[in-house]
Structure formats: structure tokens, C-alpha cells
Amino acid sequence: MPRALAELAQSDVAAVAAIEARQHLTPWGASSFEDALRCGWHTTVLRDEVNPGLPTVVGYFVAMSAGDDEELLTLTVAPEYEGRGYGRILLETLLLEATARGAKRLFLEVRQSNQRAIHLYETAGFKMTGMRKNYYVTPADSVSGRPAGRENALLMVRVLNALKESPA
Ligand SMILES: CC(C)(COP(=O)(O)OP(=O)(O)OC[C@H]1O[C@@H](n2cnc3c(N)ncnc32)[C@H](O)[C@@H]1OP(=O)(O)O)[C@@H](O)C(=O)NCCC(=O)NCCS
């Protein structure tokens, strides 16, 4: 079994932070992943321990509970492994875990331009529930000539367990 899902470990932090830096315009640093471990947030890493020459970490996610709800904070697949279904496996894993924990809804925010992630979320049953205008910072990029700016966030939600009315 070449690939395995596990909770994020302190020994994964450097690899995960390196992937994060390559895959996000405003990446989490190692200290954010260490905070996630300290706070007991829900973390999962998918490791590949057999393919020589490829990174050990395939992808990962971090989510946190907020009352009856959960929020997906980061979901990332290493560039070498993109487009092979691992993003969907990680997302379905979180949906199963959050449902088993009794969460009612799973929320997330995504850059409006991130069509790849939006497609993944929509086909996993997420619905757009709002927009945060100019929410994300977009740093300038001297290589492409992209100027610094800001971008809207789409707020999406997936209902997991039916919301029940509390008895009066
Ligand atoms: C978004 C991300 C997690 C997807 O991971 P992945 O392993 O490449 O995704 P999968 O291979 O499981 O593919 C998921 C779907 O995206 C589709 N997809 C792939 N490239 C796409 C593109 N350029 N545009 C739209 N959809 C695309 C796939 O076809 C698949 O849909 P399908 O099953 O209906 O065919 C990954 O690209 C990533 O880490 N991106 C950078 C970080 C990021 O944006 N994270 C999300 C922040 S909210």
C-alpha cells in the first residue's frame, strides 16, 4: 500500500509548509501548521513513501470545529501529484470525518479565480453562500509582471447532517 492517510505529525511540518509555499499566493508558514497541531484542529496528510524522486507528502488538509460547524482552512495537493484524484480523496475524507464527528455543515473560502478548486467543491456538493469582496491579498509577481491587488473570496457550504430544531 504505497499511499497512506494519517494525522499530520510534527515531522511533516517542513514538507507541508514547503508545498504550501509553492501552491498558495498567501501560504501558511510552518508556525501556522504547528499552531494547528497545538490547537488540536483536524489535520490529515496523505503520504507516499515508495515513489523515489517524488515528494513524500502528496497532500493535506486542516479543518477546525466551530460549534456545530466545521471550517476547511487549507486543502492542498503537491504540484507533482495534481490532477490524479488526490484532492477529491482528501476532501471526501474530510467530509466523512466531519460527518462522523456530528458536524452539521462544512464551510470554506476560496479565491474567485480558483476554478479548479471551485469545480472540486461544487462536484462534492458545496453551494456558494456568500462573497467577501477584496478578501484575499494578491502579492505582486515580478516574473509574470502581475501587480499587487486583492481578490474576492467565495464562501461555500456543504450540509453534512440535517440541522435539527432544539426543543422549545
Ligand atoms: C485544488 C486542488 C486541491 C485539487 O487537487 P487535485 O488533486 O489536482 O484534484 P483532483 O485530481 O482530485 O481533481 C479534482 C477535479 O478538478 C478538476 N480539474 C483539474 N484541473 C482543473 C482546472 N484547471 N479547472 C477546472 N477543473 C479542474 C478535475 O478534472 C477533477 O474534476 P472531475 O473529477 O470532475 O474530473 C489542487 O489543485 C491544489 O492544491 N491547488 C492549489 C491549492 C488550492 O487552490 N487549494 C484550495 C484552496 S481553497
Reported as a single tens digit per residue, the pLDDT across 45-80 is: 999 978 777 779 999 999 999 999 999 999 999 999
Burial 70-104 (b: 16+ CB within 10 A, else e): bbbbbbbbbeebeeeebbebbbeebbebbeeeebb
Average pLDDT, the chain: 93
Q: Tell whether the model's pLDDT for residue 35 goes beyond 90.
A: yes
Adjacent-strand bridge partners of 7: none
Instruction: Judge if the beta carbon of residue 22 lies within 6 A of ligand 1.
Output: no
Q: Which residues contact 82 (CB under 8 A, 6 or more apart)?
A: none
**Distance in angstroms (rounded) separating the CA atoms of residues 55 and 78:** 8
Instruction: Judge if the beta carbon of residue 57 lies within 6 A of ligand 1.
Output: no
Instruction: Judge if the beta carbon of residue 110 lies within 6 A of ligand 1.
Output: yes
Assess contact for 45 and 16: CB atoms under 8 A. yes
Nearest CA to ligand 1 atom 28: 83
| Reported confidence tier of residue 124, pLDDT bands at 50, 70, 90 | very high
Pocket test for ligand 1, best of 94, 112, 119, 151 (most atoms within 8 A of CB): 119
Nearest CA to ligand 1 atom 22: 116
Average pLDDT over residues 32-49: 96
Nearest CA to ligand 1 atom 30: 120
Average pLDDT over residues 135-140: 92
Q: Tell whether the model's pLDDT for residue 168 goes beyond 60.
A: no
**Distance in angstroms (rounded) separating the CA atoms of residues 125 and 133:** 23
Assess contact for 55 and 80: CB atoms under 8 A. yes
Distance 166 CA to ligand 1 centre (A): 38
pLDDT of residue 55: 72
Protein fold of 3-159: Aminopeptidase (3.40.630)
**Distance in angstroms (rounded) separating the CA atoms of residues 164 and 168:** 12
Distance 28 CA to ligand 1 centre (A): 19
Adjacent-strand bridge partners of 72: 63, 108
pTM to 2 decimals? Answer: 0.92
pLDDT of residue 166: 56
**Distance in angstroms (rounded) separating the CA atoms of residues 31 and 13:** 9
Q: Tell whether the model's pLDDT for residue 87 goes beyond 60.
A: yes
Distance 37 CA to ligand 1 centre (A): 26
Closest residue by Cα to residue 42 from 100, 111, 88: 100
